[in-house]
Structure 1
């Protein structure tokens, strides 16, 4: 090939490379991180920690803002998110509620109507009793429930069919308890749930480990089981998992990030890169450890698969409870 022909090919390839590089999506304006709750609480804290770290570590070349859109058990935030169809400048913090709401017919959209971006961490579920309770461990707990499913009152917040309720039902079902007969008491918050147990108004509670920890330290409460695949750290290192106690049950209230429907492959790839780097930061890992959360990062594709699998599990147990749509 003549030299001029070779040069033309090289220039053409270079031009294609430049055009491809230009086509890669990056943010062009402010990034909104949407939270379906009022300021305060786990989802809001997650959003603000993401905002802090992406700005401090310059993980994106754009400004960020946290936008609270409370209402409808998350329905308002999902509706707002999907008004931004195909726009990669809008993200939302999500949790197991995304799946439970849809399974119960309480959500405006299916989890398939949004774009999964990342699963960030898992908040596993603790089962606790008073320190002087006659229930000594998880096996004892389920022996009582198998004999008389309604013989113990079990408290959790803040609605039927939520992650706490499902964690209880899955564990009980796995050992043959009739979960429709469980005596559950619903409270408005985790704090109210703890207060009820301390006051002897319920026999046991189901909640996140961070709620129980201060009362384990003071010797007022005991955690008899945890719904994690392995033991947690710190004081919870002494708490056996359900599987260790012969209960075949693992369940978490994960938190993750979703985008509006219609995001393209380049937008998804961009956010995959950002959250892979975020979850590898030492500052992020310290924040998770402080809150007893487990770093279980999944990218967009794996998060979609996880949603599919967990939805089927959730739908199954809610159907048995008579709560599925």
Structure 2
């Protein structure tokens, strides 16, 4: 029997850190596979992952639809999307969004579009940037942010 596939979570730059470490040989080897998100793919396509060729690593991916989500803690007062929109309509700065990436990332855009749907200016929203979605979800579980757009 083969041993299970070893996994390592390497946060940073929506996949940029993992890509750089594999491409430069600082991590892994010829049998290393790299899983990535659509955010990583977008940054790679835009040349934001540095001087390395995309073929410098072995990618694994799934073809399919990449749905967006707005998640809240199970104890959140916002039980439906409409509840969150109503709170944003009242005061967009009262909701702290936390996600991987920074201003302009796909997750930031999801939050900004939600604030806009509430009829408010996205510049008034609070957005906390994390190295990746795992860190942001940990912050949501700890109730350090109110919502996770992912």
TM-score, normalized by the shorter chain, greater than 0.5 = yes
> What whole-Å deviation, never above 9, does each CA across 1:8-53 have from its counterpart, x for those lacking one?
xxxxxxxxxxxxxxxxxxxxxxxxxxx972453325xxx9xxxxxx
Which structure is higher in strand share? 1
Q: State which of 132, 135, 141 in structure 2 corresponds to 1:198.
A: 141
CA–CA separation in structure 1 for the residues paired with 2:118 and 2:94: 16
CA–CA separation in structure 2 for the residues paired with 1:124 and 1:172: 18
Structure 2 counterparts to residues 120-139 of structure 1, below 5 A: 120-139=63-82
Which residue number in structure 2 is paired with residue 258 of structure 1?
none
The alpha carbon displacement at 1:76 in A equals 2.6
Which residue number in structure 2 is paired with residue 283 of structure 1?
none
The alpha carbon displacement at 1:175 in A equals 3.1
Structure 2 counterparts to residues 189-228 of structure 1, below 5 A: 189-207=132-150
> Is 1:145 aligned to 2:123, yes or no?
no
Which residue number in structure 2 is paired with residue 187 of structure 1?
130
Which SS does the other structure have where 2:64 is aligned? strand
Which residue number in structure 1 is paired with residue 103 of structure 2?
160
After TM superposition, what 4+ stretches of structure 1 lie above 4 angstroms from structure 2? none
Structure 2 counterparts to residues 250-269 of structure 1, below 5 A: none
Which SS does the other structure have where 1:122 is aligned? coil
CA–CA separation in structure 1 for the residues paired with 2:117 and 2:142: 30
Q: Which runs of 5+ in 2 are unaligned?
A: 1-14, 23-32
CA–CA separation in structure 2 for the residues paired with 1:122 and 1:166: 18
The alpha carbon displacement at 1:193 in A equals 0.6
| RMSD of aligned alpha carbons | 3.1
CA–CA separation in structure 2 for the residues paired with 1:164 and 1:132: 22
CA–CA separation in structure 1 for the residues paired with 2:35 and 2:102: 16
Q: State which of 34, 37, 49 in structure 2 corresponds to 1:40.
A: 34
Structure 2 counterparts to residues 259-298 of structure 1, below 5 A: none
CA–CA separation in structure 1 for the residues paired with 2:51 and 2:64: 24
Which residue number in structure 2 is paired with residue 76 of structure 1?
51
Which SS does the other structure have where 1:73 is aligned? coil
Structure 2 counterparts to residues 167-178 of structure 1, below 5 A: 167-178=110-121
Larger-gyration structure (1/2): 1
CA–CA separation in structure 2 for the residues paired with 1:128 and 1:196: 12
CA–CA separation in structure 2 for the residues paired with 1:160 and 1:41: 24
CA–CA separation in structure 2 for the residues paired with 1:145 and 1:174: 9
The alpha carbon displacement at 1:177 in A equals 1.9
Which SS does the other structure have where 2:83 is aligned? helix
The alpha carbon displacement at 1:168 in A equals 1.6
The alpha carbon displacement at 1:142 in A equals 0.8
Q: Is the 8 A contact 2:100 2:132 kept in 1?
A: yes
